[in-house]
Each structure stands twice: as structure tokens, then as C-alpha cells.
Chains A and B, each alone.
Chain A
Amino acid sequence: SAVISQKPSRDICQRGTSLTIQCQVDSQVTMMFWYRQQPGQSLTLIATANQGSEATYESGFVIDKFPISRPNLTFSTLTVSNMSPEDSSIYLCSVEDELGLAGLNEQFFGPGTRLTVL
């Protein structure tokens, strides 16, 4: 299994500012994923980040709002730009179990970053 850490664990931010969330994995992985969990909601995939290429965004999410970096195989950042109260959510980083059986697709999740925008 992979151990994932995220920084910060939580933050309170002002409207119009930006916050960068860091995700660190204890092993090299090809694919890293960023999810959003709005209050009382399920998880929604924001984007998939592969090292050495542009992130792939899901419908409803754009690079200008959620720029992602993936400088190496163990690290990624997600920036929430020009924040509004609607961006208040938990943001989770995830990686796939690349040592698992083919087709298993198990994912490991970081502890999440709880963001509150005032």
C-alpha cells in the first residue's frame, strides 16, 4: 500500500485568494488523482495528473481554476485559484495501486485538506 500525506490539513482563506495543496507519496506512482468532496457530498474527480504531461480534467473543472503540477513521481500540487465560498470542500489526493493485480484499480487516499473560504 502507499502512504500519502497532504499539506495543509486544513485552512481558512479569504475570497479571491489562492491556495496550493501539496500531496506527497512514499513510493513512485504513475498516476495521481485529485478529488473534491463538498460538504455532505460524495467524492468527485477533479483531474488526473501524470508525471511529464498535462493533467487531464474532468467535465466541469478547468486548468485556470485548478492548476496542477506533477514535477516527479512522488509529488503533486493542486491550486484552488480565485477562491469563493463555493470552493469550501475537502480536497483529497489519491494514487492507484500499481502493484496490484491487473484490473484491480484499488486506490489509496490521502487524509484530505479541509478548505473553508470566507
Chain B
Amino acid sequence: AQSVTQLDSHVSVSEGTPVLLRCNYSSSYSPSLFWYVQHPNKGLQLLLKYTSAATLVKGINGFEAEFKKSETSFHLTKPSAHMSDAAEYFCVVSDNTGGFKTIFGAGTRLFVKA
């Protein structure tokens, strides 16, 4: 069975400092992993995705995530936060075991202080 746990319900950083949003997953088979961002009153946007080709995945807007199978983690990072990064971030796991299933994490709200 799949599951995904976002370890922080909210994270607050100062502009220009690093961002770390944590995600752990469980999956019976090799999963697909994604990070989505949702800005207030906006739709969901894909930030990046893990394709099994490389463990370090680079996404849009300077975000990246590292797949660590031994730790079952897929944490999202960015070297320097920008005010426009303030949003809700969802870690997502999916696989094709027993039919297509996508599970969303509970979400982490990122606050960026000036």
C-alpha cells in the first residue's frame, strides 16, 4: 500500500534563506514521485517529478528534490527563498500496483518573510 507523509504542516523562512520541505513515502513497488505547488486561489502546478533516471531532480523556479530510496524520502529544497514561493506544497506518490493510484500528502504551507 502506498502512503506519503509530509513531516511539516507549515514552514517559515526568511527571503534569501534555504527552503527544505520534507516528504517520506512508502510504496510496494518503484513509485513515481512528484511535488506540486498550489498558490492561493490558483490551480495545482507540477514543480518536479522523479522518473528513476536520476536521483537528484531539478524542477522549475530553482526547486530540486533528491530521491533517497534507503531513507524513503523525497525532500524538496531551494537554495534561496523568494517571496513568490509562498504557497502550499504537496508531495505525491503514485504507482500502478492494483490499478492507477495517486496519493497526496497533507501539504506543507511555506511562509516567506521579508
Do the two chains belong together in a single complex? yes
Tell whether A42 pairs with B105 under 8 Å between CB atoms, given A106-B32, A106-B34, A109-B43. yes
A103 to B97, CA, bound (A): 10
Name the distance in Å between B108's Cβ and chain A's nearest Cβ: 10
A-B interface, 7 closest residue pairs, ranked by CB to CB distance from nearest: A111-B43, A109-B44, A105-B94, A43-B104, A105-B32, A42-B104, A42-B106
Q: What residues make up the interface of B, taking CB atoms closer than 8 Å to A?
A: 30, 32, 34, 36, 42-44, 46, 49, 51-52, 90, 94-96, 100, 102, 104-107
Partner of A105, one of B96, B106, B107: B96
CB pair B100–A48 under 8 Å, yes or no, is: yes
Tell whether A104 pairs with B106 under 8 Å between CB atoms, given A48-B100, A109-B43. no
Partner of A104, one of B43, B51, B104: B51
A97 to B27, CA, bound (A): 21
Q: Which of A90-113 contact B (CB under 8 A)?
A: 92, 96, 101, 103-112
Tell whether A105 pairs with B102 under 8 Å between CB atoms, given A42-B90, A43-B90. yes
CB pair A96–B90 under 8 Å, yes or no, is: no
Contacts of A107 in B (CB 8 A): 94, 102
CB pair B90–A110 under 8 Å, yes or no, is: no
Q: Interface digits, A37-53 against B, CB 8 Å rule (1 contact, 0 not)?
A: 00001111100100000
CB pair B43–A101 under 8 Å, yes or no, is: no
